Amino acid sequence: MNELKKSIHDNTTGLDYTLVNDHYLPNLTAAAPAEHPTGRWGRLHKTYLKEQHPVRYNQLLLSGELDGYLAKLDKQVEEQLALTIRQMQEAEGVTEALKAADQLEWVRRMNSIRNRAEKIIKSELIFV
């Protein structure tokens, strides 16, 4: 009976295989962790993709582009959210002077602005 080699290389696929018991298994390694961890908006979009667009989600996952895509989206959403909040503050006259004069009113208005801005962001960038 022939002795099996401990490892082999397949030139057609470029993969190396290691002998385990009497089967050759490919030497696969996990992808490196993302350089930029995914934030709130990336996680929300990931859940949306899994549930509503599984084919697109699997394409991104299997190609190794999912983490980069979500990190980029997360950064874009944070920038857009900050801009939208700043614009709404200016349009509604929510200033530092109001904050100094009536803190509770300022907090109420800022919470309202933030909630509306997040709703806009979700409809335009996350759930699409």
Tens digits of per-residue pLDDT, 20-58?
A: 888 888 887 766 665 667 899 999 999 999 999 999 999
Burial of 99 (0-12, 13-18, 19+ CB in 10 A): middle
pLDDT at 14: 80
Q: In this model, does residue 118 exceed pLDDT 90?
A: yes
Distance (Å, whole) CA 72 – CA 104: 35
- Across the chain, mean pLDDT equals 90
Query: Which alpha helices (H) appear in 9-124, and where do they start and end?
Result: 40-52, 54-63, 66-92, 96-101, 103-121
**Could you tell me the pTM of the whole model?**
0.70
pLDDT at 56: 95
Q: How many residues does the chain have?
A: 128
